[in-house]
Structure 1
């Protein structure tokens, strides 16, 4: 299980603390009653205490030891200050494992605080009774946490640790602490096993399955799996039509190209609707308003114009200035990446098709080797530049920081994925013969080669098959092989751990007794999880969005592109579950009401598909299957007209579909409206009672009061206004 009771581990071991921590730990244990207080240890803080230098400056061993002990004690003090408890164990690899324990009372406090913040931010609709319950004193408030999911519990603990002290947190964040390597929750082995077994025996994942993932891993991970499932279902249409067109139709089908554009519009617009529906169902609508400030956010202290409190402030004008300064850097990185891809592409074409000289059978592999060596390094540099630029832009919340970071990263990923196909379609096939003819005029001879759209189809096939096969291997097979290769290293670590667990002399810093077998197994499992890489859901989103680009942008070239994507995604839905369960650390649950920047990227790709499909069909339709085939059409005026018509048709269709879908409320929206109406009616009723409109309140109270008003006709018989009206009517 991912949770264990503190006394179960503590009763079989003596804590591996230094002398200053020993008394604190023993006092802590005395106050724990295993029958009345459940203490969970779902989060592990990895404290790295052996470093040769400190921030690049060499220090002596005694000085470094002093700084390390001070940092370690500071971490424990911060945890204790916010009400958390802990138990420290050595991991055997120059790190300490600090199991962070959250008492039930502290968890109740944080859950109540989060509920109040959600209510104030409009994340959830609270009726009158719920509101009054939230505003009651803590001792009188209902303390039941039966509805709190495991993901919510871990998220509240993580926020309590990482939030800044002025926001009620301990202020411990791995990215801003020299000794804290990471903070991770522990995997629940039973849940992972049940999850994989359930998903591997089903063709379709249902709502209940996704709810289980949400309750365990949080909304951010659940959104990804819902998106993957939703995308898989929508892929059925281009898959079926693509198979029919490939079997019975012709290459570069206009019908299929138009269908793909329409399909991309409906998919992106309906997903926006589904995204909002999930936010309402999962009660995370407007959750971005509750985001805390990033630890790395830097600003000058200034008075808040609304509250008057002194808070860090960073001018939006400065941020926009930094964004503008970063544009040339991003463009330069994109140009460098494009140059490398273009050079490799040109060498590949020359050696594969035209070169017929010495060592050709070996030289044809040179571009692939060059690409493998150059692209990862260039891409890593571009990604590093993206991180630095985003950090320089200084965003206040994690959501805004992640959004702008992923936008930059996606630009480089798209160039890496699509540039070769774009060069083939718009440069090599249309203008290749002219370039070759020019070289031949200068006396440079080439081997005879036919340049036709078949090359474009072969390149797309290679990308769809090899890219997805490599992705599957790197996500599942390679990690499994890596773990097998580390068996000997694990044995060595075990021997080191056994040495560390031996009793030392009185002047030693550790006093450890032999662990029980259950404790040994548990600690061994924790160490394995610490060694796993962190899981980043954005990497999986990037893979799916790039694949959506292959289908929407280029499947008119090879209609079976959708079939390849469909098969891959059915496997991906299961393999990603296995990756999270066994090949990566358990992610800290995070709330969100959207898939973030990837929705905008989907819409950008859908818009670009209206240009690529129109231009590819204009250039290559009818150039393969007909007996009187000809080369690509190169009329620039007609091509621009085709692009203009296609883009405007796309924009019009997207607007119409969006308007229609927005006018059709979902059941989740209706449910929220019903609850909002109930809250308003309740408050109007109470307001009516307060001002004397009766128990009905509102309009009903006014109607009741009108019915009870006495007849005034007799009193108005001599009224001046009545006499004037009668006189005027008689005159007219």
Structure 2
């Protein structure tokens, strides 16, 4: 496939690995738990709902007892829906688009990017019938057997993007635009954030190296520097979000409240002001469901605290009590419990996050924004407990009071251990070792869990499924001659479709990409730095190296290891910015406390609580003052991008007013001339001719004078057309999507025969294979 530039992408609204097939969307229908008759009836309803909104459907077999429903939107229908979505955004009370799109209800336009086109397809598939969509949401409502719903990857564009970033040290704005065009603003904002954050890490990394060489851990100067750096970064990123939202034309899109199809309501109320009907779920029920998270978080914290206490006890026992025969490896044994805990934490966090997601679903939020807020809060609390609680316990409990606590919890019968613990003095370097272990090990383990393991597992399982499918079909066709023609038709891939279908089957089994997990991972890393970075000055350098790999690894995971996400729009990284600000504030307290407690050789017994509280108070006040100063400075400086956008809108409005004024003056002069030449006319006739003449002249003049200013450089030429007409890009696509007409077989009939064939194949395999080798569900 030839390379694609950004301009090429804008002219190709939809493109897949095999672009000539023009597959826009894929649904995976799993009928393994129902009979053939019920599956055929449900599949018929599915196809009819999709075709009702104008979608073209083709059906192919998937893995096991499932079929792939391939969808395509006719290009004229797609262009018309794109225009309608732009017009709706313009008509809003608080519009996202400030220029009125030219055209009427039959106008057809080209999507500016692949993401805009796929977002329109996503709406046609998932929106309810009242909103003009097919109402098909995977794993919900009547479509619980729709296992997956996703757009296929554009393999050519994504591989070129991966190769481009692999050869570059820094991701520039052009690369972010490419990511935005492929995956939408919500994903692009994450990569913009990690790139901005990584560039900001260069300064503390350099300062940390100098502090490590010429200074010492827990340096007051390095602590002050980290505090100022954290404030400056968060304030700068908030301004950067505004610039990017203006550049990508999504500023204010967060105000769009999209209803979740999973929302269930109990009653309908009429708004006394607007008169609109609102579907209401009682607030007291949601509060009761939200309250369930608090005992869950407390239990998780207590369980983790108990595991941490056991880890400390084992380390102390191995280091100072155990007198075994493995003295050469004594140092390795002493760190073994912490290493095991560090390796287990990412998996513990993954399990807790999965439970939190189910709790957020149970809380029944009406809009996606409310759901994202609830999920962000839960994820942040769990990450805080799992990632930061062990270090807080080490810093403020174990190191200062560990010998007393271990002595208290040691059974009285362990006399030898008690004698050692009575004289035990815990090394303050234990905190630094804990920070290094949890921060660095957690990053490596998280990368392996998120990128490496899913990719290898997915590829291996895909190869195994493909091998099983081919062997089962071949064996069945050899043993059942009477149905050979049916199985050859429906269970064998056409040679020219094989590559495309193999990739789609693999994507159907891949994990769903969740950008919130990657954003929260960067928030946790930021938290390690601002909370405990003073303990190890080389932490920023380690994070800088990690992020260079992480950015490309996450992009590889997105392009080659996950399903392509729906291109959801956003104007920021969401509610995670509040988590960053909270961590920065906590960092002002923690950094000051750690610098006072662990700086120098002062023993813990000589630490005065009054001095500690005073230093923490001063640090917090300095934080608030500097944050106010930085925020005010940024507001004074402003944004060049925002100023240019406002200037453009002002010039557009000025052009409108001048045009209207010129037309009004010209019309008035013509009226006076007519009055003098023909005499007095009736007021009604004068008003009618004046309005008609003004509109006619305005259309003639503004069409050439103000159109560029009004529409901007990205508006593409319009074309009128019927929604029923279509425009295939290649002959291959036309043959693929028109094949059912040539074979005189509808999608419903083809799907029904395919379901029957797969059921028969499954039953035949069960009857002719040993019981140990039978997989009843696949």
CA contact (8 A) 2:342 2:437 kept: no
1:48 maps to which residue?
A: 30
CA distance in 2 between counterparts of 1:504 and 1:114 reads: 52
Aligned equivalents of 1:438, 1:685: Cα separation in 2: 85
**CA 1:332 to 1:93, structure 2 compared with 1: closer, same or farther past 3 Å?**
same
Measure the CA separation in 2 of the matches of 1:438 and 1:184.
Answer: 57
- Alpha-carbon offset, residue 103 of structure 1: 0.4
Tell me how far apart the structure 2 counterparts of residues 441 and 100 of structure 1 sit (CA, whole Å).
68
Whole-angstrom CA distance in 1 between matches of 2:636 and 2:148? 46
Instruction: Identify the match of residue 419 of structure 2 among 435, 445, 453.
Output: 445
Aligned-residue offset at 1:648: 1.5
- Is 1:336 aligned to 2:308, yes or no? no
1:219 is aligned to: 185
The more displaced of 462-471 and 574-583 is 462-471
DSSP-derived class of the 1:235 partner: helix
Give the equivalent residue in structure 2 for 1:12.
Answer: none
Partners of 1:471 and 1:375 lie apart in 2 by 9
What residue is the counterpart of 2:572 in the other structure? 594
Shift of 1:87: 0.1
Aligned residue in 2 for 1:461: 436
- Maintained 8 Å contact 2:455/2:560: no
CA distance in 1, matches of 2:87, 2:319: 68
**Aligned CA distance change for structure 1 residues 78 and 489 (closer, same or farther; 3 Å):** closer
TM superposition shift of 1:292: 2.6
Cα displacement string for residues 220-254 of structure 1 (whole angstroms, at most 9, x for unaligned residues): 11111111100000000110000000001122110
C-alpha spacing 1:587/1:496, structure 2 compared with 1 (3 Å): farther
For residues 484 and 473 of structure 2, the distance between their equivalents in structure 1, rounded to whole angstroms, comes to 20
Per-residue CA shift, 1:54-105, capped at 9, x if unaligned? xxxxxxx6xx333322221111111011111110001241110000111012
Alpha-carbon deviation of 1:437?
6.7
Is 1:517 aligned with 2:495? yes
The 8 Å contact of residues 40 and 103 in structure 1, kept in 2 or not, is answered as no
The equivalent residue for 2:736 is none
Rate the CA distance shift 1:574–1:423 in 2: closer, same or farther, 3 A. same
Aligned equivalents of 1:376, 1:571: Cα separation in 2: 18
Equivalent of residue 661 in structure 1, options 634, 637, 642: 634
Is the counterpart of residue 493 in structure 1 residue 469 in structure 2? yes
Structure 1 stretches of 5 or more lacking a match?
3-37, 52-60, 624-628, 696-732
1:421 to 391, 394, 398: 391
Q: What is the aligned length?
A: 637
Q: Distance in 2 between matches of 1:290 and 1:73?
A: 34
TM-score, scaled relative to structure 1 = 0.80
Residue number among 223, 238, 241 corresponding to 1:257 in the alignment: 223
Aligned equivalents of 1:120, 1:90: Cα separation in 2 = 43
Secondary structure, counterpart of 1:412 in structure 2: helix
SS at match of 2:269: strand
User: Structure 1 residue 341: deviation in Å?
Assistant: 3.8
Judge which range, 439-448 or 568-577, deviates more: 439-448
User: 1:313 Cα deviation (Å)?
Assistant: 2.8
- The structural deviation recorded for 1:681 is 2.8
Matched, 1:181 2:181: no
Task: Tell me the secondary structure at the aligned position of residue 446 of structure 1.
Answer: helix
- Shift, 1:552, TM fit: 1.1
| Alpha-carbon spacing, 1:169–1:288, altered in 2? closer, same or farther (3 Å) | farther
Q: Pick one of 313, 327, 332 that aligns with 1:347.
A: 313
How far apart, in 2, do the equivalents of 1:365 and 1:113 lie?
A: 62
CA apart distance, 1:337: 4.0
State how 1:288-299 maps to structure 2 within 5 Å: 288-299=254-265
* 1:432 shift after superposition: 2.3
Aligned to 1:200, which of 166, 186, 191?
166
The residue aligned with 1:404 is 374
Structure 2 unaligned blocks of 5 or more: 3-19, 669-778
CA distance in 2, matches of 1:212, 1:335: 42
Given the two structures, how large is their TM-score scaled by the length of structure 2?
Answer: 0.75
Deviates more, 1:516-525 or 1:245-254: 516-525
Partners of 2:432 and 2:535 within 8 A in 1:
yes
SS in 2 for 1:86: strand
Structure 1 pair 292–106 and aligned structure 2 pair: CA distance change class (3 A): farther
Bigger mean CA offset, 252-261 vs 582-591: 582-591
Q: Determine helix, strand or coil for the equivalent of 2:24.
A: strand
Residue 127 (structure 2) pairs with residue 126 (structure 1): no
Secondary structure of the 1:93 match is coil
Mapped to 2, the partners of 1:366 and 1:269 lie a distance apart of: 41
Q: Is contact 1:78–1:170 with CA below 8 Å preserved after alignment?
A: yes
Contact 1:126 1:679 in 2 (8 A): no
**In structure 2, do the counterparts of structure 1 residues 214 and 93 end up closer, same or farther at CA, with 3 Å as the change threshold?**
same
Deviation at 1:692, TM superposition (A): 7.3
Q: Of 431, 437, 447, which aligns to 1:472?
A: 447
Supply the distance in 2 between the matched residues of 1:307 and 1:81 (Cα, whole angstroms). Answer: 32
Instruction: Determine which of 561, 578, 590 is the counterpart of 1:612.
Output: 590
Q: 1:268 to 1:674 in 2, by over 3 A?
A: same
2:747 is aligned to none
Shift of 1:39: 7.7
- In structure 2, the residue corresponding to 1:302 is in which secondary structure? strand
What are the Cα deviations for residues 241-275 of structure 1, in whole angstroms up to 9, with x where unaligned?
00000001122110000000000000001000001
Map of 1:149 onto structure 2 = 113
Query: What's the CA shift string for 1:303-331, capped at 9, x where partnerless?
Result: 344553434234556645654x3463354
Q: Name the counterpart of 1:102.
A: 73
Kept after mapping to 2: 8 A contact 1:118/1:287: no
Deviation for aligned residue 1:346 = 3.2
Q: 1:504/1:105 Cα in 2 relative to 1: closer, same or farther (>3 Å)? A: farther
The residue that corresponds to 2:38 in the other structure is 67
In the alignment, is residue 395 of structure 1 matched against residue 365 of structure 2? yes
Whether 1:163 aligns to 2:127 is yes
Query: Alpha-carbon deviation of 1:296?
Result: 0.9
Name which of 345, 353, 357 aligns with 1:383. Answer: 353
- What is the CA distance between 1:156 and its match in structure 2? 1.0
- Is the alpha carbon distance of 1:521 and 1:681 closer, same or farther for their aligned partners in structure 2, counting shifts above 3 Å? same
Does structure 2 conserve the Cα–Cα contact (< 8 Å) formed by 1:125 and 1:676?
no
C-alpha deviation, 1:513, in angstroms: 8.2
Matched, 1:636 2:609: yes
2:88 — aligned with what? 117
Q: Which stretch shifts more, 152-161 or 229-238?
A: 152-161
Summarize the Cα distance change of 1:377–1:480 in structure 2 as closer, same or farther, 3 Å threshold. closer
- Compared CA separation, residues 303 and 67, structure 1 to 2 (3 A): farther
Q: What CA distance in whole angstroms lies between the structure 2 residues aligned with 1:210 and 1:385?
A: 33
Q: Is contact 2:558-2:564 (8 Å) kept?
A: yes
Which of 200, 203, 212 is the aligned partner of 1:246?
Answer: 212
| 1:198-221 superposed Cα distances (whole Å, 9 cap, x missing partner) | 111111111111101110111111
Which residue does 1:7 correspond to in 2? none
**How far apart, CA to CA, are the structure 2 residues paired with 1:108 and 1:198?**
31
**Alpha-carbon offset, residue 678 of structure 1:** 2.9
Q: In 2, Cα distance between the equivalents of 1:599 and 1:570?
A: 21
RMSD value over aligned CA atoms? 3.3
Matches of 1:439 and 1:507 in 2, distance apart?
A: 75
In structure 2, the CA distance between the partners of 1:436 and 1:469, relative to structure 1 (3 Å rule), is: closer
Contact 1:425 1:456 in 2 (8 A): yes
